[in-house]
Amino acid sequence: MRNKNNRLARTIARTALILTSATAVAFSLTACGGTGSDSSDGKTVTVYSADGVGDWYKTQFAKFKDQTGISVNLVEAGSGEVVNRVEKEQSNPQADLIVTLPPFMQKAAKSNLLQASGVDLSAFPASEKDAAGNWVSLAGNYLCFIANPTVEAAKVTWDDLLKPDYKGKIQYSTPGQAGDGTAVLILLQQLYGKQGALDYLAKLQANNVGPSSSTGKLQAKVDKGEILIANGDIQMNLATIKDKGSKFNVFFPATADGKQSTVALPYLMGLAKGAPHSDAGKKLMTYLLSADVQKTLTDANAVSARTDVTAVPPTGNTASPAALVRNVDVVHPDWNAVLDSLDTDVAAYTKATGS
């Protein structure tokens, strides 16, 4: 799990929990401040969510209450702990909606912790929703890389990163310790196969500064020019550019044929099995998935998966997340397979790189 301060800590902590077996963090209770639904009149709905988009939630939940009279009780935690909490409460369900990240939503579905919502998901492509209707993408986030302004980032390829010019000038967070670092391994597996990914990373080790359990700490290094290139994720990096004025550029390394790719790391939303306020939960799902609300995801540095939504351009000079991935091939891993082989893959990585 990555160790960051303030806003970046929340983003990296929840991303790391996508792909590692780290101990789940303690719950942080926000919004209405409760630990579950405490109303039987249908005027309260409880959301258990991975943290990271709290500011966006705050705005949208307030608008939802104004429109419907239904209050939202938000309980935030790490991705894995969200599902663990729901599992422990099966005999007395408290959550109405679950929002978490892969592969934990897939784990929830396999554990029979979800139910089909019946909400209209026709605007979402098959890759962004469960075939059984148990979950759907609420907000998209993606793996990316960042480069110091002295680098022509748009032209950088994976092969370029192996050149001697970058010796001691590249650093990426460690797979198995940081979620974004693990996503690097997954993407390379998709591009070159498992052995090809290990061969590539073994070569890259000549230029790699060394291991890093924190993706966020690499941002300042790139900004200052201590290193030239590092990995990251769109939500985190754009937030840093917007809030702290960082000058690095976001990019996606290309393969030899010029193709750029990334890994989708979305927030997924589903209706909890036995939801005490399922009707209110369905209303909130419908609201959050509506085109008008999905357009506002730019405010959270996230991307809508709806096929009919064009994101509203952000204010200022910050790039639009949707614009960044418009011409990039988005890989949607088989997260069930990722989880099943993660320990083996990380062990193979460690052996190949000597890290």
Structure tokens at 313: 């351009």
Q: Please list the pLDDT of the chain residue by residue as tens digits (355 residues).
A: 434 344 434 444 444 444 443 333 333 333 333 344 444 456 899 999 987 688 899 999 999 999 999 999 999 887 778 888 999 999 999 999 999 888 889 889 989 999 999 999 999 999 899 999 999 999 998 999 999 999 999 999 999 999 999 999 999 998 877 778 888 999 999 999 999 999 999 999 999 999 988 788 999 999 999 999 999 989 888 888 888 899 999 999 999 999 999 998 898 999 999 999 999 999 999 999 999 999 998 888 888 999 999 755 555 556 778 788 889 999 988 888 888 898 899 999 999 999 7
Q: pLDDT value at position 338?
A: 87
Alpha carbon distance 231, 177 (integer Å): 14
Could you give the residue ranges of the DSSP H alpha helices within 168-268?
179-204, 217-224, 234-244
Q: pLDDT value at position 318?
A: 61
How many helices (H) and strands (E) would you count in the chain? Answer: 11, 13
Nearest Cα neighbor of 176 from 52, 22, 50, 11 is 22
Radius of gyration of the chain (CA): 20
Q: Where do the DSSP E strands lie in 2-129?
A: 28-29, 44-50, 71-77, 97-100, 114-115
Alpha carbon distance 19, 339 (integer Å): 7
Element (H, E) at 304: none
* DSSP strand pairing (143-147 vs 249-251): antiparallel
3-state helix, strand, coil in the chain (%, to 5): 40, 15, 40
Nearest Cα neighbor of 236 from 59, 62, 5, 43 is 5
Q: What is the DSSP letter of 231?
A: E
Specify whether the CB–CB gap between 97 and 287 falls below 8 A.
Answer: no
Alpha carbon distance 164, 162 (integer Å): 7
Element (H, E) at 225: none
Alpha carbon distance 90, 336 (integer Å): 23
Element (H, E) at 145: strand 143-147
Q: pLDDT value at position 15?
A: 46
Alpha carbon distance 89, 319 (integer Å): 41
Alpha carbon distance 51, 41 (integer Å): 27
